[in-house]
Amino acid sequence: MSDKVRVYEIADEAGASSNEVISKANDLGIELKSPQSAVSLEQAEEIVNYIMTGASAKVKAKAPAKAKKPVAKKEKKEEPKKQDNELKKAETSTSTKKQNAEINKTDKPESKKEEKKEEKTSAEEKKQPVNTQRDEKTNRIIPKRRGLKIVKKKKPAASKPQEQQTASLNGEDTPKQKMKSLSEILGGGNEEEKVAPKTATTAPKTKIKKEKKKVPPKAHTHGKKLEIDTSKDFTNSDDSLLGEEVVLLDMGISDSSKLFEEQKNNNNNNKNTKQTRSSKPAAFGNRPQGLRRKKRKKRIKRVEETKEITEVTIPEDIRVYEFAEACGKSPAEVITVLFGLGMMVTKNDFLKQDELEILGEEFGIEVTVKDALEDANYVDDYYEEEVDESNFTTRPPVVTIMGHVDHGKTSLLDKIRSSKTASAEAGGITQHIAAYTIKQNNQKITFVDTPGHAAFSSMRARGASVTDVIIIVVAADDGVKQQTEEVISHAKASDCPIIVAVNKMDKEGANIDMVKAQMAERELTPVDWGGEIEFIPVSAKTGDGIDDLLENILLQSEILELQADPEAKAKATVVESSLEKGRGPVATVIVQNGTLKVGDNIVCDTTYGRVKAITNDLGKQVKELGLSETGRVLGLNEVPESGAIMVTQDSDKEAKDIATKRAEHARAKELSKSTKVSLEEMSGLIAEGKIKQLPVIIKTDVGGSLEAIKGSLEQIQNDEVKVKVVHAGVGGITESDLILASASEGCIILGFNVRPTGSVKNKAKADGITINTYSIIYDLIDDVKDTLSGMMSAIVREENTGQAEVRDTFVVPKVGTVAGCLVTDGKVIRGGHARIIRDGVVTYTGKISSLKRFKDDVKEVTNGYECGVMFEKFNDIKVGDFIETFIQIEEKVHIDDK
Ligand SMILES: Nc1nc2c(ncn2[C@@H]2O[C@H](COP(=O)(O)OP(=O)(O)OP(=O)(O)O)[C@@H](O)[C@H]2O)c(=O)[nH]1
């Protein structure tokens, strides 16, 4: 603390001008000339005190004339006396004369009350020189300085610091005194009452402002500087008071907490002060007591809530925020838990089963998921109904034929159909139908023509396993192929009995043993080789072996003991569906139990209706469909999906309710999927790098083709590109498809056996949306493959153009090294790429920046000619190096190439 303090710094601290400081310092016998003049810290202290208090021992000694004579004299006399008495006496002794003197110097006090207050305060101030003297003896500088420092910043409270100073000057002797000052400053009544009961009686406790007004005259008594602004500023606001509180705390008074407490107590009687504190807590950094209490309450509440919830029953599809609400948590808590486990969800996302389990465990809540479709599970309800076995009769088997492309599935189905249906009855109808029933030895067999094994499995995955027996067709001349292998897996997974039809036996290259061997390798061992699988040689062309095949099917079905109740409520499975002009939604079904009749109320997943008409597989209108029979059903409100299960209901209302509930649920699920897709995409993009997607919308005439196309397209993908099916549906291309397409960038619409109508076509043109229509599935898939191939980055291939040998090198200043070469093979091309090979090792790969023949720039130099070559950013060329030149060719790749 030996630092010098400059005048302007003192002025700053004391809130006075530099000139005033200089003049005051001179009063104290300290000679100062300019604001830059410096004094010791002690001197500075003394000056500040003098300015602030208007009194100093030195001044009294040296220049008593400067202090107000009467006051000073009286002060001296009063010194030895006790404070309270002193004050009272001071009040009386400093009456008229002093007041007059002051009034002459400063503004006139407005009222007599104020005059009295002035008297009181001036009496208090009279103590200060005494205190100062004492204090100088104790040398308590630091706390004083600190207090003053902050006071200086609070100019409006200029008179308060004096009181604080009094307190600080008194130092350790009386914390009570400090409190007294504080309460005075704050306008608290109690202390003041003790000190100046008179004032207290004249000034009501509650009126802070009035009490504050008592203070300015103090300043008047102590010096001009303090008089100046304080009287006005001091009436300002309660903020200043709060500021003062801080001042005292800063001073490091050990009893500051007590001060607060006392202040609080005092303020119980002082509404104004109380209001000030509670109404402006935040602005002053005070503790918002009211709020704190509230918070506490809240916290307690939450804890109670958390304790209460130990188990929740929630619907299957629940969003993050809904789950949080059910568990009494905030969505943020739920998101945080999942985020911590690497699952990115937003509050609107639906939670998956595993996520629910994790959250339940994390929060210690038992989560029970209730089936959202509890009241609409018509299939389960169907199975739960009582079964009357007395009505059971043997039902015909349902057979599915699968096999590799071109191995003869369709030919075989057609052959069976044409040879075994009562063609006389049908009049040789050849229309396409997804399923038909034939008769073999008066026993019925129903065949299903699934669009592919993927569609078969997807149907099975949806619980629609209509098939009783599977026939795998393998061409005798071709053997087991890739799709045969896939078919084998699907067939095995279905647990249905398998029969292998070895087709094209009429062909020259037919080799049934080869097929048997290949199948045996795949655990489908022929019966004659000791296995369980029947291998039937057939020819779809000649019809040979077909009877044998059908006999075998009947044999298998006998073993299966297929039984059903024709009297029961009808249950059927949709194998194909479409929207037909003039007929509405049409569903091709196979009846699995009961008898489906015209007029039945039906529900079919999300669709419902009343059976308006049924046409059988021969295109004939029928009144009903019996066990394992197939036909086309009209009357549903919408097109059902392939694989949907149709069940008759007692009333149309019942059917409608179930379907509506299921439709709503499906919609919600779709929504959940769409929000999740974007998230999965996000993480997918990160995982896969920048995978390119081809968004497509698929529209087909029938559900079967839709499944097949969708399945095939989704399989076309590699590390770089893939198809993203935005939407797939049965029916024509509509404007809503266009809207959907325009929503995802680069989306194309693929129509299979459907074509856009005039207005849709025009709108698509206007919006720049591509619609491609097909009638052959492979064309569609090939087109998509081509498009995807176009999206794939090209492969860069290198092609050597020539070689040259470095015969000499020339260093061209500021340019670089030129290699004098002889082209020994092909040609060297300017701008082409080059490798420099030294002792068989590639030392540089880069570009040829300059190619010259003599002094001319040339594009290329051919075999046998000399040239000067320079390379990009490479000068370390040496005689004997070989230069191998090459060009890079970008080549497009096809998705199948990879
Ligand atoms: N020689 C001979 N040719 C047959 C036989 N079965 C089918 N073909 C021929 O094989 C080709 C493919 O027959 P499809 O019935 O279309 O084969 P698929 O398995 O249904 O083919 P996809 O429907 O494209 O999967 C056709 O040209 C048929 O005429 C057969 O038993 N003998």
72 CA to centre of ligand 1 in angstroms: 130
Q: Is 451 annotated as a binding residue?
A: yes
Distance CA 439, CA 46 (A): 125
Predicted confidence at residue 335, as pLDDT, reads 83
Alpha helices (runs of H) in 39-195, residue ranges in sequence order: 41-53, 57-62, 69-78, 83-93, 96-105, 112-138, 142-153, 159-170, 175-186, 189-195
* Ligand 1 touching residue 453 (CB < 6 A): no
Q: What is the Å distance from ligand 1's center to 705 Cα? A: 19
- pLDDT per 10-residue tile (average), the chain, 898 residues: 72 79 82 80 82 68 41 39 44 42 42 44 42 41 36 38 40 39 39 38 37 39 39 40 37 39 43 38 36 42 55 79 86 82 74 82 83 77 79 91 87 84 45 77 86 64 77 93 83 88 93 93 91 93 93 93 90 88 88 94 93 89 92 92 90 91 77 45 43 81 84 80 82 81 79 86 83 87 82 78 91 87 90 89 88 88 91 89 88 68
Atom number of ligand 1 nearest to Cα 539: 31
Give the Å distance between the CA of 721 and the centre of ligand 1. 33
775 found inside a domain: yes
Ligand 1 centroid to residue 475 C-alpha, Å: 9
Residue 805: how many CB atoms within 10 A of its CB? 16
Atom of ligand 1 at shortest distance to CA of 542? 31
| Residue 435 CB partners (closer than 8 Å, separation 6+) | 398, 446, 447, 448, 449, 575, 576, 588, 590, 617, 630
Q: Report d(CA 760, CA 488) in Å as an integer.
A: 43
Is the beta carbon of 411 within 6 A of some atom in ligand 1? yes
CA–CA separation, 29 and 25 (whole Å):
6
154 marked as binding residue: no
Closest residue to atom 32 of ligand 1, CA basis? 504
Q: Whose CA is nearest to atom 21 of ligand 1?
A: 406
Q: How far apart are CA 560 and CA 557, in angstroms?
A: 5
* CA distances (Å), origin 599, targets 602, 613, 634, 652, 835: 9, 8, 10, 10, 83
Residue 260, H or E segment = helix 256-267
Q: Is the CB of 223 under 6 A from ligand 1?
A: no
Residues 837 and 849 in one domain: yes
Best mutation site among 407, 410, 411 for ligand 1 pocket (most ligand atoms within 8 Å of CB): 411
Tell me, in angstroms, the distance from the centre of ligand 1 to residue 615's CA: 29
410, 417, 450, 779: residue to mutate for ligand 1 pocket, most atoms within 8 A of CB: 410
Q: Say if residue 340 is in the same domain as residue 364.
A: yes
CB of 712 shorter than 6 A to ligand 1: no
What is the distance in A from the centroid of ligand 1 to the CA of 405?
8
User: Tell me, what's the pLDDT at 770?
Assistant: 84
What's the CATH number where 649 sits? Answer: 2.40.30.10
Asked whether 221 and 121 are in contact (CB, 8 A), the reply is yes
Six-digit token pair at 627?
Answer: 């066990």
536 DSSP β-pair partners: 501
CA of 539 to the centre of ligand 1 (A): 10
Q: Cα of 483 to ligand 1 centre, how many Å?
A: 15
Tell me: is residue 315 an annotated ligand-binding position: no
CATH number of the domain enclosing 535 = 3.40.50.300
Residue 580 Cα distances to 301, 587, 604, 632, angstroms: 61, 10, 18, 11
DSSP letters of 815-867? TEEEEEEEEEEEEEETT-EEEEEETTEEEEEEEEEEEEETTEE-SEEETT-EE
Residues 583 and 727 in one domain: no
Please indicate whether residue 395, judged by its CB atom, sits closer than 6 Å to ligand 1: no
The candidate with the shortest Cα–Cα distance to 470, out of 542, 409, 543, is 409
727 marked among binding-site residues: no
CATH number of the domain that residue 707 is part of:
3.40.50.10050
216 is in an annotated binding site: no
Task: Confirm or reject: Cβ of 397 under 6 Å from ligand 1.
Answer: no
The residue segments making up the domain with residue 882 are 795-891
Helix (H, G, I), strand (E, B) or coil at 63: coil
Residue 25 lies in a domain: yes
Between the CA of 412 and the centroid of ligand 1 the distance, in Å, is 8
Q: Is residue 553 part of a domain?
A: yes
Cα 229 from Cα 208, distance rounded (Å): 19
Q: How far apart are CA 248 and CA 92, in angstroms?
A: 31
The residues, ordered by sequence, that sit 6+ positions from 731 with a Cβ below 8 Å of its Cβ are: 579, 639, 699, 754
Beta bridge partners of 798: 888
Same domain, 837 and 747: no
Cα Rg of the chain, angstroms: 51
107 Cβ contact partners less than 8 Å away, ≥ 6 residues apart: 231
> In terms of domains, do 427 and 547 share one?
yes
**Residue 496 placed within a domain:** yes
**Of 791, 813, 845, which residue sits at a domain end?**
791
DSSP state of 109: P
Answer yes or no: is the C-beta of 503 below 6 A from any ligand 1 atom.
yes
Residues 753 and 810 reside in one and the same domain: no
Does the annotation flag 405 for ligand binding? yes
Residue 410: CB within 6 Å of ligand 1? Answer: yes
How confident is the model at residue 126, as a pLDDT?
42
Residue closest by Cα to atom 6 of ligand 1: 408
Residue 408 known to bind ligand: yes
Q: Is residue 138 part of a domain?
A: no
The angle subtended at Cα 574 by Cα 569 and Cα 575, nearest 5°, is 140
The span from the CA of 211 to the CA of 113, in Å, is 11
What would the DSSP string read from start to end of 697-743? Answer: EEEESBHHHHHHHHHHHHH-B-SSEEEEEEEEEES---HHHHHHHHH
Residue showing tokens 């109690």: 190
Q: Do 761 and 851 belong to one domain?
A: no
Q: Based on the domain organization, do 573 and 690 belong to the same domain? A: no
Nearest CA, atom 12, ligand 1: 406
CA 810, CA 523: separation in Å to the nearest integer?
A: 75
Are the C-beta atoms of residues 388 and 434 closer than 8 Å to each other? no
The answer to whether 506 is annotated as binding is: yes
Question: Whole-angstrom Cα distance, residue 742 to residue 731?
Answer: 19
Q: Is 405's C-beta closer than 6 angstroms to any atom of ligand 1? A: yes
Q: CA–CA separation, 381 vs 375, rounded Å?
A: 9
Ligand 1 atom with least separation from CA of 540: 31
Task: Write the secondary structure of 542-611 as one string of H (helix), E (strand) and C (coil).
Answer: CCCCHHHHHHHHHHHHHHHCCEECCCCCCEEEEEEEEEECCCEEEEEEEEEECCEECCCEEEECCEEEEE
- Has residue 36 been placed in a domain? yes
Domain boundary among 536, 563, 590: 563
- Do the beta carbons of residue 132 and residue 169 sit within 8 Å? yes
- What's the CA gap between 896 and 898, in Å, rounded? 5
Nearest residue to 540 via CA among 435, 450, 408: 408
Note whether residue 298 is domain-resident: no
C-alpha–C-alpha distance, residues 300 and 294, integer Å: 10
Residue-wise DSSP of 419-442: HHS-HHHHTS-----SEEEEEETT
| Ligand 1 atom index nearest CA of 505 | 31
How far is residue 57 CA from its own chain's centroid? 74
Does 801 belong to an annotated binding site? no
477 is in an annotated binding site: no
Give residue 711 CA to ligand 1 midpoint distance, Å.
23
What SS3 class is residue 319?
strand
User: Does residue 406 have a known ligand-binding role?
Assistant: yes
Q: How far is the CA of 438 from the centre of ligand 1 (A)?
A: 21
Cβ 415 under 6 angstroms from ligand 1: no
What is the Å distance from ligand 1's center to 429 Cα?
20
CB 792 within 8 A of CB 720: yes
Ligand 1 midpoint to CA 407 (Å): 5
Residue ID of nearest Cα to ligand 1 atom 14? 408
Residue identified by tokens 């006005």 is 232
The token duo for 781 is: 């898939």
833 is in an annotated binding site: no
Our count of domains for the chain comes to 6
Atom of ligand 1 nearest to the CA of 413: 15
Cα 453 to averaged position of ligand 1 atoms, centre (Å) = 17
- Residue 833 CB neighbours (<10 A): 18
Identify which of 402, 404, 406 to mutate to test ligand 1's pocket (most ligand atoms within 8 A of the CB).
Answer: 406
Same domain, 666 and 752: no
Asked whether residue 487 falls in the same domain as residue 545, the answer is yes
Report which ligand 1 atom has the smallest distance to the Cα of 504: 31
- Measured by CA distance, the residue closest to atom 13 of ligand 1 is 408
Same domain, 884 and 864: yes
- Non-local CB neighbours of 588 within 8 Å, separated by 6+ positions: 433, 434, 435, 574, 575, 576, 577, 630, 631, 632, 633
- 275 belongs to a structural domain: no
The separation between CA 677 and the C-alpha centre of its own chain, rounded to angstroms, equals 13
Closest atom of ligand 1 to 407 CA is 19
Considering the domain architecture, whether residues 583 and 652 belong to the same structural domain is answered as yes
